[in-house]
A and B are shown apart, each in its own frame.
Chain A
Amino acid sequence: MIGKRQASPEKIRIEGDRKTAIETGRNRLMVAGALFVAAFSVISIRVINVSVFSDNNEPRYTRSVSTSEKHTGRADIVDRNGILMATSLNTASLFANPRIVLDPEQAAIRLATALPGINVKSIEKKLRSNRGFVWLKRHLTPRQQYKVNRLGIPALNFQREARRMYPLGSLASHALGFTDVDNKGLSGVERYFDKELRTRQGNMALSIDVRVQHIVEHELGLAMKKFNAIGAAGLVMDVNTGEVVAMSSLPSFDPNQPGVIDQSLRFNRTTLGVYEMGSTFKIFTTAMALDAGTVSLHGGYDATSPIRIARFTIRDFHAKKRWLSVPEIFMYSSNIGTVKMALDVGISGHRNFLARIGMMKPVGIELSETGAPLLPDRWREINSMTISFGHGLAVSPLHLVAGVSAIVNGGIYRAPTLVRRSPTDVPAGTRVVKAETSNKMRQLMRLVVENGTGQKAAAPGYIVGGKTGTAEKVLGQSYKKKALISSFIAAFPMHKPRYVVLAMLDEAKGRKETFGYATGGWVAAPVVGAVVRRIAPVLGLRPIKDTDAVRDSLSIDISTKTFLEPRVASH
């Protein structure tokens, strides 16, 4: 271009006024050009700045759903094998803006055709109100939503809302608990972990195994019906980890209908209810005496005559009226012998031992509904005597299960938990009795099922051992004669315990087949036997043939003095 211009032969010369006019024009052009250059460079700098240097400041049109975030809302609860127990489903809730409703009466009537069961009057009243927002019905089914949409009423709209669902129905309802319509936990694990379930992503695994839970609830339900009991409680606990594998309190409720749950059904008999447990406490008394060394397995006490103290008389239910060895005292569930055992250890020793196995304070489990034990106001000799056979100290069934777990697992107490523990994550626990004492207690508990009061709890191949318990219910100041708490606590397999099983029936009535008895051995022991027979294969336990090695490890010399008595209790 330049070359071409230079090459042009003729040059135009302009002089005078014309020249100045052109000069002025040029200068103005230069100024205008400079202004434009300045303006454009500002714009281009801004463009570069916006497009290159500020990367994320611009809001994007859409954002992709991240793969890591699951659904918003409450976290799911699963059992120890990952089976869904509680989940949040998105449903549509119907609301209206009453200000733009044209004909409230007509709208209410038409809504009633789509949503049968609603109150036309109250809906009409809601639609007449002078507000911008009213709920008409929460959590519609997809079919109802479709029908409402088809009505084409302009003021109606839907809001997506999460609703808590429990696909397993009433199974494990007391452990799980339930939530209200705004998804706030009201009981059970739902309440205890309310905050965590709201915030966490991913599932929460409980220690419950729904298969075992079902078996326990089923068998307890059958027994409850058979013996006309007003309630029942069942627990299965892993003795080595402290995990509660099944927790059942009957009657149960359906957590899917939080509005209609009766207050009495919400009562958790396994943790909130405290009961005088009766003879099952002899496990603790005997373990304490053996551990303290005040008596050995070969020792014994005279149980010929009842003990009279103050206005009480302590008798034996299965009275033998003779000297009894320690295994016999345990096997025949002798109150007299057990009282003497406790007195030899002493009052403070007795109290300290019960404190060590957790009988003095609420159990530390992940539930808000835990009952505090009912302790005597002043711990005198009479208290120690009655508590030795399970009267005068009321604890929850979970207390008993946790305590017995410690006695049979080698002597380590671990607080029970409802949250699944990985095998590497088991707390060390505290030692409460010597391993040797634990061994002896296993032999004694096996004896009860083999020859004593708990024979109905036998489960061939799974070597069950346990202890019966029957207590009269306290009503105000006195005991109710006909209202019994019948229980059986067992562990299996007894040579190397894995699980403790408890069955308890509240106010069971005797039947003809049980000769009118409603004691632990008659009503609760068969439940435990049936439960063990059914849960052992589920839990992957191999039945053990009664080989000599196992038998020897559990055999026990019952009596050192008398061999004449038949070694089988009458019931």
Chain B
Amino acid sequence: MRRATFLWSILAMSVVIGLFVVKYRVQNLEDRLSALNAKIITDRDEIQVMQAEWSYLNQPARLEALSKRLLGMDTPVSAQTISMQELLENTALEPSDTGALTEITEIKQLNAKPGIEWAPAKKVVPVRAPTAPGGGDWLKPILAKLKKNQ
């Protein structure tokens, strides 16, 4: 009888202690949750502000002025763009120039694949004098053509 009472009281005590522990843990978790919630809300506000700032800094007028001033960019003219087709047609290949050859055949294969669309209108081929002798050889006919067109 006495042992049973003892056992029961031990059980009751441990349940009570367990309950308290769990209760405080839950409260802690809830506190953390509300802190996190508050943080999420302030973070969202901050993200929103940064998005607005990003958009503000990307105003087309500002970008235009900056790219003109710092990068020397200007409105592209049609002579600056060339389609991949024209590039391939007008490239006279020298037998030694195998590097360019493989590159171009790769491009040709890519071009043949449906679904891969080349958008050369967006790609501006800068008109520059070829710097490296030999390596820039295959560009010569294209440049000549561009000059003629201009």
Chain A residues within 8 Å of B, Cβ to Cβ: 1, 60-65, 70-71, 83-85, 87-90, 165, 167-169, 171, 210-211, 213-215, 218, 460-462, 533-534, 536-537, 540-543, 545
Contact = CB atoms under 8 A, between A and B. Distances in A.
Interface string B52-82: 1111101111001000000000011111010
Contacts of A167: 52-56, 59
A84 B1 contact: no
Contact of B55 (A71, A83, A215, A462): A83
Chain B interface secondary structure, helix, strand, loop or mixed?
helix
Given A71-B48, A214-B60, A540 B122 contact: yes
Contact of A65 (B37, B56, B61, B124): B37
A167 B77 CA distance: 30
Across the A-B interface, the 3 shortest Cβ-Cβ residue pairs? A461-B78, A543-B78, A214-B60
Nearest to B49: A89
Given A83-B58, A168-B56, A540-B121, 19 more contacts: A61-B34, A64-B33, A64-B36, A84-B52, A84-B54, A84-B55, A87-B48, A90-B48, A167-B52, A167-B54, A167-B59, A168-B59, A215-B60, A460-B77, A461-B81, A537-B121, A537-B122, A540-B119, A540-B122
B81 A218 contact: no
Contact of A171 (B36, B59, B78): B59
Given A71-B48, A171-B59, A542 B75 contact: no
B106 interface: no
Contacts of A89: 45, 48-49, 52
B51 interface: yes
18 contacts: A60-B30, A62-B31, A62-B33, A64-B36, A65-B40, A87-B48, A89-B45, A89-B48, A90-B45, A167-B53, A168-B59, A171-B61, A214-B64, A461-B81, A537-B122, A540-B119, A540-B121, A541-B121
B75 A534 contact: yes
B52 A165 contact: yes
B90 interface: no
A70 to B, nearest CB: 8
Contacts of B34: 61-62
A340 to B, nearest CB: 40
A568 to B, nearest CB: 23
Given A62-B34, A540-B121, A87 B51 contact: yes
A542 B120 contact: yes
A251 B18 CA distance: 73
Contacts of A461: 77-78, 81
A232 B150 CA distance: 34
A65 B44 CA distance: 11
A167 B53 CA distance: 7
B114 to A, nearest CB: 18
Nearest to B124: A537
B7 interface: no
Contacts of B14: none
A537 B125 CA distance: 13
Contacts of B51: 84, 87
A71 to B, nearest CB: 6
B30 A62 contact: yes
A213 B61 CA distance: 10
Contact of B60 (A65, A211, A533, A537): A211
Contacts of A1: 1
A533 B33 contact: no
